[in-house]
Amino acid sequence: MKQPLLIKYVLPFIQWYALMIFLAISIDYFLHRFQLVSIGRYLGFIGTFVIIISFVYSLRKRKIIESGSPKQLLALHEYLAWIGSIMLLVHAGIHFNAFLPWLAIVMLLIAVASGLIGKFLLKKANETLKEKKQALINTGISPEDADKKLFFDSITVDLMKKWRVVHLPITLILGILALMHIITIVMFSK
Amino acid sequence: MKKIIVFGIVIVCIGLMYQYPHAMLNPGELVDGHQKLNDKCLACHNPFWGISNDKCISCHKLSEIGKDTLMLNDNSKEKTLFHQNLSDQKCTSCHTDHKGIKPEYSLSSFNHEILNTTEINKCNSCHTNPTDNLHKQLTTACNNCHNTKGWKSSVTFNHDMIQGDAKQNCASCHKIPDDSFHQQVKDNCDKCHATSKWKPSTFDHSQYFQLDENHNAKCNTCHSNNNFSIYTCYGCHEHSEGNIQQEHNEEGIFNFTNCTSCHKSGNEHDIIMNGNSNQKLNQKELNNVKDYIRSQEKDKKKEHGEKKEHDND
């Protein structure tokens, strides 16, 4: 029996997302436990730098640079952005002070979620949906009836597509908020 | 269109930061006395240039800092208003803010070396004397034991500063070790330990048994389960219970359970009976001792046999 898309693809995606949050909380706990909280401040610099490095993929995709395998650069973008996000989450900690950095963190979480959807779900889900539909049509069912039978899966894929669409603007807003956070820190930190 | 959206977001964010700087940028609460400056970042900060002393001193006169806040244990003394001599120091090298409303949180670090010699020796013009029994007996010369790196770091306590009977009351400061040996000791600690250091102790094991080269063993070889009130000589070389019993029975000795009551060392010829070492007795006297022990053992046996017959009757 074929598993629904939710179990086959959505749950693994949630696992990766949850792993990121779990690692961030664990590292933050470790730093507080051993009185190394100042490291969290520097993780902000490192995490930002790691994420910026990952944007080499975006430059390649838009043909601003010509060298490098897009597939490999995409994998690099995915992993570096995921690791950098963990560092930034540790950097943020659980300190509810100013809105600006917290807005940036919320945007970061949304951007990572939309990115993970792109990585783990959308392509495979689309392929699986098409295979399922074709299989139903092959049994003599009309395309309309096949769509009705696959209603739940179609809804899931549509939702994923919407998440994927927000990846770029959310990342852009994240970049603006992060830049403002950095500028204000430089302005007032001394 | 994208550029307009980006521009719009930037404008909105800058507008919010300008209008609500406390909500948008505040990295933590200001101290209670600075609460009115919550939305006035520039009252203290010079953008990109930090915080200048002038801005602090415009409200906090150096000669008056501490007048109302410094504690003084002895009212007859004057307060040490040390800030007036620190005009060449940056306020932010010791003080910070945005750490919460309690004033004590705003002291980020303090290097005592910035103080002059007179000020640095007046510890209790800033610090409260501890009220425990130990510190009550001592003078206010804190630097006899403590240094300025930290109250508990590199403490060099001199026990000679303790006066009178308090010097004998070690347990008022030190915890009695919880092993069974120390728990049963009634004597004061100085019977075995010096005030300079706990180890090595001056405990003389040879009062009970001399640890010679053949008996230089770990404590738990003889004292099992960390219980120093009991010991065993069995289990080493020829010291099996059977061998010991046979040897002592040959000499007419049947009560041999407390080895160290007679054997104070590993020398089998150094036997103490009734408080006398056999090495100080001549052969005749030694034979007399042995005869005496045998007669005592026989009397005990006879008494035991008569009692048994009486019970059978």
DSSP B141-202: -GGGT-BTTBSSTT----GGGS-GGGGG-GGGTSPPP-SHHHHH--S-GGGT--SS-SSS--
Nearest to B13 among A180, A186, A190 (CB): A180
B198 vs B206: CA distance, rounded Å: 20
Which amino acid is it at B156?
T
Phi-psi region of B98 (alpha: psi -120 to 50; beta: other; left: phi over 0): left
The residue ranking higher by pLDDT, B221 or A162, is B221
Gap from B153 CA to chain A (nearest CA, Å): 18
Closest CA to B160 of B111, B207, B195, B109: B195
Q: Does A177 touch chain B (CB under 8 A)?
A: yes
Q: How confident is the model at residue A44 (pLDDT cuts 50, 70, 90)?
A: very high
Residues of chain A in contact with residue B48, where contact means CB-CB under 8 angstroms, are 186-187, 190
What is the rounded distance in angstroms from the CA atom of residue A102 to the CA atom of residue B215? 70
Helices (H), chain B: 2-19, 21-25, 53-57, 117-120, 133-137, 180-184, 219-222, 241-250, 283-312
| B116: region left, alpha or beta (phi > 0 left; psi from -120 to 50 alpha) | beta
Q: List, in sequence order, every residue forming a beta bridge with A106; answer none if it has no partner.
A: none
Per-residue confidence (pLDDT) for residue A20, from 0 to 100: 95
The single-letter DSSP state of residue B68 is T
Least confident among A43-57, A86-100, B50-64, B172-186? B172-186
Q: How large is the ipTM?
A: 0.71
The answer to whether residues A153 and A132 touch, using CB atoms and an 8 Å cutoff, is: yes
A23-27, A172-176, B126-130, B150-154 — which is least confidently predicted? B150-154
Contact A188 B47 (CB under 8 A): yes
Q: Can you give the length of chain B in residues? A: 313
Q: Which of B11, B17, B18, B24 to probe by mutation at the A interface, max A CB count within 10 Å?
A: B24
For A174, residues 6+ apart whose C-beta sits below 8 A from its C-beta are A104, A107, A108, A111
User: How far is the C-alpha of A80 from the C-alpha of A52, rounded, in Å?
Assistant: 9
Q: Do B24 and A169 touch (CB under 8 A)?
A: no
User: How far is B274 from B291, CA to CA, in rounded Å?
Assistant: 13
Greatest alpha-carbon span in chain B: 123
Q: Dump pLDDT digits (tens) for B220-253.
A: 788 877 677 788 888 776 788 888 888 888 877 7
CB atoms within 10 A of CB B68: 7
Cβ separation A169–B17 shorter than 8 A: no
3-state secondary structure of B234: coil
User: Which residues in chain A touch residue B5, judged by CB atoms under 8 angstroms apart?
Assistant: 169
Chain B residues 93-112 with CB within 8 Å of chain A: none
**Distance from C-alpha of B195 to C-alpha of B29, rounded to nearest angstrom:** 49
Residue A51 pLDDT class (50, 70, 90 cuts): very high
Q: Do A176 and B49 touch (CB under 8 A)?
A: no
Give A134's pLDDT tier (boundaries 50, 70, 90): confident
Distance from CA of A95 to the nearest CA of B (A): 9
What pLDDT does B310 receive?
A: 59
pLDDT tens, residue by residue, B67-91: 776 665 555 566 778 888 888 888 9
CA distance B14 to A180: 9
Note whether A96 contacts B: Cβ–Cβ < 8 A: no
Give the minimum alpha-carbon distance from A37 to chain B in angstroms, rounded to a whole number: 14
State the Cα–Cα distance between residues B289 and B275, nearest whole angstrom. 12
Burial of A94 per CB tally in 10 Å (0-12, 13-18, 19+): exposed
Segments of chain B with pLDDT less than 50: 278-281, 285
From B2, B9, B27, residue closest to A176, measured CB to CB = B9
Which of these, B53, B50, B57, B47, lies nearest to B21 by C-alpha position?
A: B47
**Residue A129 gets which letter from DSSP?**
H
Cα distance between residue B197 and residue B122, in whole Å? 30
In this structure, are residues A28 and A90 in contact, taking their beta carbons and an 8 Å threshold? yes
